[in-house]
């Protein structure tokens, strides 16, 4: 059995460590490299609390590091400031990036798409790797056909840099595909404090909460005549995302185009 060679960027972070622990458990995956600004030169096994694996953490991702690793897939859980550079470097090295870092805007995604067409190396971008979160978005899309008035509340730990979350934006986009933009609330309402009603995307108000103790949570609130419907997903640990990450690695190896969303791999 040919194993898929995996390089992990952001290896010292909480998500990166969880990804590495998961990869080490899979018979068809082989960890061939890891990078981070922290723990450089240290065996990645020691960083994640496992026995020595013979892979030292290197500095920032570059073409030479990726090519010498002979990676098939780069899993990126770094930060919004690094993800675009890492993804483009991977594509130029002939490595498919599996992008778990959120924060890319449409212009940056366009840059990745253009590079994919030039290099004929694909990429996978996931706003959320949780299978439960994907189902939440599917259910919200279906509910919006019957309940057009909706608010989204997303809640994350206070170290998350971007707001709203990629999952909240993806949920709103899914809803907007099945309902027309509308003005919610009283037409003459006003905010005593700017931002009190949250961000507005196509008439959907999105509220971002950042507090210590939280991991990742989202509520999609629908209101109708005499009734309300709430669809909620909670992630209580980073293990929540690992089945989706492993599935994405397997499905992304050999991609030649851009795929956005784990739902593309579930059917």
- Domains in the chain: ranges and CATH: 4-125+239-265 (3.40.50.720), 131-235 (3.30.360.10)
Q: How confident is the model at residue 48 (pLDDT cuts 50, 70, 90)?
A: very high
pLDDT digits (tens, 9 = 90+) for 12-23: 999 999 999 999
Q: What is the mean pLDDT of residues 32-59?
A: 95
For 76, half-sphere exposure in the C-beta direction (CA atoms, 13 angstrom radius) is: 32
Q: How far is CA 30 from the centre of its chain?
A: 22
pLDDT for the residue 127: 80
Sign of CA dihedral 106, 150, 175, 179: negative
Q: Which two tokens stand for residue 28?
A: 């068809």
pLDDT for the residue 166: 87
Number of H helices, E strands in the chain: 8, 12
pLDDT digits (tens, 9 = 90+) for 179-219: 988 889 998 999 999 999 999 999 999 999 999 999 999 99
pLDDT for the residue 25: 96
Q: What are phi and psi of 98, to 5 degrees?
A: -105, 105
pLDDT digits (tens, 9 = 90+) for 105-148: 889 999 999 999 999 999 999 888 999 999 999 999 999 999 99
Cβ neighbours of residue 67 under 8 Å, at least 6 residues apart? Answer: 93, 94
Active site residue 149: no
For 57, half-sphere exposure in the C-beta direction (CA atoms, 13 angstrom radius) is: 22
Which position among 156, 205, 207, 233 bears the catalytic label?
Answer: 156
Q: What is the mean pLDDT of residues 231-259?
A: 95
pLDDT for the residue 234: 97
pTM for the whole structure: 0.81
Which position among 5, 39, 149, 160 bears the catalytic label?
Answer: 160
pLDDT for the residue 111: 95
Q: Is-contact 16 9, C-beta < 8 A?
A: yes
Percent of the chain past pLDDT 90, that is, above it, reads 87
pLDDT for the residue 44: 96
Q: How confident is the model at residue 243 (pLDDT cuts 50, 70, 90)?
A: very high
Active site residue 156: yes
Detail the DSSP E strand segments found in 157-257: 199-201, 204-210, 216-224, 227-235
pLDDT for the residue 51: 92
């Amino acid at each position: 059995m040919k194993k898929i060679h995996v390089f992990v960027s952001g290896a010292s972070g909480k998500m990166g460590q969880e990804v590495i622990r998961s990869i080490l458990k899979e018979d068809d995956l082989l960890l061939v490299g890891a990078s981070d600004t922290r723990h450089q030169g240290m065996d990645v096994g020691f960083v994640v609390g496992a026995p020595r694996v013979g892979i030292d953490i290197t500095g920032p991702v570059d073409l030479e590091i990726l090519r010498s690793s002979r990676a098939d897939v780069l899993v990126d859980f770094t930060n919004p400031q690094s993800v675009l550079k890492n993804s483009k470097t991977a594509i130029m090295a002939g490595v498919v990036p599996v992008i778990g870092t959120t924060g890319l805007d449409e212009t940056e995604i366009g840059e990745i798409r253009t590079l994919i067409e030039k290099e004929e190396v694909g990429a996978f971008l996931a706003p959320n790797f949780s299978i439960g979160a994907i189902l939440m978005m599917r259910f919200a899309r279906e509910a919006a056909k019957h309940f057009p008035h909706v608010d989204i509340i997303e809640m994350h730990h206070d170290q998350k840099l971007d707001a709203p979350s990629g999952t909240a934006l993806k949920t709103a986009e899914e809803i907007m595909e099945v309902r027309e933009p509308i003005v919610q609330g009283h037409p003459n309402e006003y905010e005593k404090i700017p931002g009190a009603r949250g961000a507005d995307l196509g008439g959907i108000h999105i509220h971002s909460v950042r507090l210590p103790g939280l991991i990742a949570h989202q509520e999609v609130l629908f209101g109708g005549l005499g009734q309300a419907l709430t669809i909620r997903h909670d992630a209580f640990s980073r293990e929540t995302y690992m089945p989706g990450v492993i599935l994405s690695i397997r499905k992304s190896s050999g991609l030649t185009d851009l795929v956005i969303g784990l739902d593309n791999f579930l059917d």
